[in-house]
Amino acid sequence: MSGGLRFVAARAAALRGRVRVPGDKSVSHRAILFASLADGVSRIRGFLEGEDTLATAAVFRRLGVRIETLGEGERLVHGVGIDGLRGSDTALDCGNAGTAMRLLAGLLCAQRFDSTLIGDASLSKRPMRRVIEPLQRMGAQIESHDGLPPLLIRGGRQLHGIDYTLPVASAQVKSALLLAGLYAEGETLVREPHPTRDYTESMLRQFGVAIDYAPGHARLRGGQRLAACDVEVPADFSSAAFFLVAASIVPGSDLLLEAVGMNPRRTGLLASLREMGADIAIEREAVQGGEAVADLRVRHAPLHGIEVPIERVPDMIDEFPALFVAAAAAAGPTVVRGAAELRVKESDRLATMSTALRTLGARIDETPDGATIHGGHLLAGGHVHAHGDHRIAMSAAIAGQIASGPVTIDDCDNVATSFPGFVELATAIGFDLAARRHT
């Protein structure tokens, strides 16, 4: 076994307290991007200090944007305007951030200069053809290794608008096409088979772009400029999800999660947990920087299995590893269908999460596009490999809180990509969880 960060999780007592999880990763990526393209200076508060979002900021610095760090979670971005980016003489490293690479592909294919996008070993295995092909239809020239990174993007191409229906619902691909559409001649219309999160559309409007959007479609015309504005980043629902599940399944728990982003295209897990019998109250609803936020009060409650509605899948695609843990702790079967997208995330999450929970004694029948998790079996201790996937690592750590023996989780370094300080926050509310380096 190679060295790296290892988690060791064990059965917890009740989880209690108040916690604010880090800023939303999706919003943080987009805030840096749009602020960089705007005319004027934008202030971002609540920015996620994770490796993925820091990689995005580093890319824009390479492209000539001045980004000041004013303090933890606060950035001042001196926008260069829609036509002010400068080419980089070295490759642009997206690290582990698939969002960054896909959105940057849409942006950079419209620039005057050539660019090369690279990523880490995990990102280099993630499919990019789904974003390359529609961009090529708009006139972009992008070269790849059979649809995989690195991406060599040729500049100096005139793009034209497109009326495109996504074959698979993807907020990242939609966002890439809308970014390219800002530079294209005419109008760009993106249609979706299922509505996905609308952070790009909402933030474009916040930056002054005229965009028509509703669940399932977005339309804008090229040639518009962005005006600087301030962005408040809500707490990340995907990060809160781990604590929603943990407090639901650890007896005696009573936990308050503060100012969580409640974008309806992100909260499918909340609906599923409540349908399973979870005791989660929505309190102090507000609007923060154009996004709905609320406190979530979660108390332990007995859960039962459900069949997750297929139409809900896009609204909880990042939360399925955590849902699998809730399903393993629930009475009866939980059925997931229509989630083949999980196979092309940081790991094959259907396979990796099924294997992890089987190792701990759960019974799971895996299918090509989902799984049936037969809940009600006591989880045991065991040794889990996260395969460099931050959501697998954190989900396994939740499972450890109700296991009969210690759960050792290897390859957890990438937790820092989305949830810096996870172990510290978790232990502060009662998790039995330790992180250590091993060789």
User: Does position 2 have pLDDT exceeding 80, yes or no?
Assistant: no
Please write the tens of the pLDDT for every residue from 286-302: 988 778 999 999 999 99
Confidence of residue 1 (pLDDT cuts 50, 70, 90): very low
Contact call for residues 270 and 83 (beta carbons, < 8 A): no
Where are the alpha helices (H) located in 250-389, listed in sequence order? 268-275, 320-329, 349-359
Instruction: Judge contact between 375 and 331, C-beta under 8 A.
Output: yes
Q: Which residue has the tokens 């109700």?
A: 402
Q: What is the pLDDT of residues 16-26, one digit of tens each?
A: 999 999 999 99
Q: Is the pLDDT of residue 213 over 70?
A: yes
**Reading across the β-sheet that carries 382-385, which strands appear in turn?**
382-385, 407-410, 4-10, 432-438
Q: What does the CA dihedral 165, 166, 168, 173 come to, rounded to 10 degrees?
A: -160
Q: How confident is the model at residue 3 (pLDDT cuts 50, 70, 90)?
A: low
- The percent of residues above 70 in pLDDT, for the chain, comes to 99
Gap between the Cα atoms of 278 and 273, Å rounded: 5
| DSSP state letter for 289 | T
First to last CA, the chain: 8
Token pair of 435 as six digits:
């992180």
- DSSP label at residue 346: S
Give strand pairing partners of 176: none
Judged by DSSP in three states, 382 sits in: strand
Q: What is the pLDDT of residue 296?
A: 98
Q: Which of 198, 295, 318, 413 is catalytic?
A: 318
Give me the pLDDT at residue 144, please. Answer: 97
Whether omega before 22 lies within 30 degrees of 0, making that bond cis, reads no
- Rounded to whole angstroms, the Cα distance separating 105 from 107 reads 5
Residue 96's φ and ψ, nearest 5 degrees, are: -100, 10
DSSP 8-state symbol, 21: P
318 included as an active-site residue: yes
- Are 264 and 315 in contact by the 8 Å Cβ rule? The answer is yes
Q: How confident is the model at residue 224 (pLDDT cuts 50, 70, 90)?
A: very high
Distance, CA of 103 to CA of 98 (rounded, Å): 8
Q: What is the pLDDT of residue 344?
A: 84
Per the DSSP assignment, residues forming a β-bridge with 409 are 7, 384
Q: Which residues contact 115 (CB under 8 A, 6 or more apart)?
A: 87, 88, 92, 104, 108, 152, 153, 155
Inter-axis angle of helices 98-108 and 171-183, to 10 degrees?
A: 20
Per-residue pLDDT tens for 34-87?
Answer: 999 999 999 999 999 999 999 999 999 999 999 999 999 999 999 999 999 999
Place of tokens 């495109």: 164
Residue type at position 378:
L
Q: In the numeric block, which tokens belong to residue 108?
A: 């950079």
Mean pLDDT within 167-196 = 95
Mean pLDDT of 313-340: 96
- Strand-pair category, 370-375 with 363-367: antiparallel
pLDDT digits (tens, 9 = 90+) for 351-400: 999 999 999 999 999 999 999 999 998 999 999 999 999 999 999 999 99
Residue 275 has pLDDT above 70, yes or no: yes
Q: So what's the pLDDT on residue 291?
A: 84
List CB contacts of 418: < 8 A, sequence separation 6 or more.
Answer: 25, 48, 50, 52, 236, 238, 239, 390, 391
pLDDT at position 72: 93
Domain architecture of the chain: domains with CATH: 4-23+235-438 (3.65.10.10), 25-232 (3.65.10.10)
Residues 211/189, Cβ–Cβ less than 8 Å: no
CB 298 within 8 A of CB 253: yes
- CA nearest neighbour of 301 among 256, 335, 252, 258: 252
3-class secondary structure, 116: strand
Give the mean pLDDT of the chain. 96
Cα separation, 203 vs 274, whole angstroms: 29
**pLDDT score at 179:** 98
Model confidence pLDDT, tens digit, residues 119-161: 999 899 999 999 999 999 999 999 999 999 999 999 999 999 9
Distance CA 138, CA 134 (A): 7
Query: Of 309, 314, 358, 356, whose CA–CA distance to 334 is shortest?
Result: 309
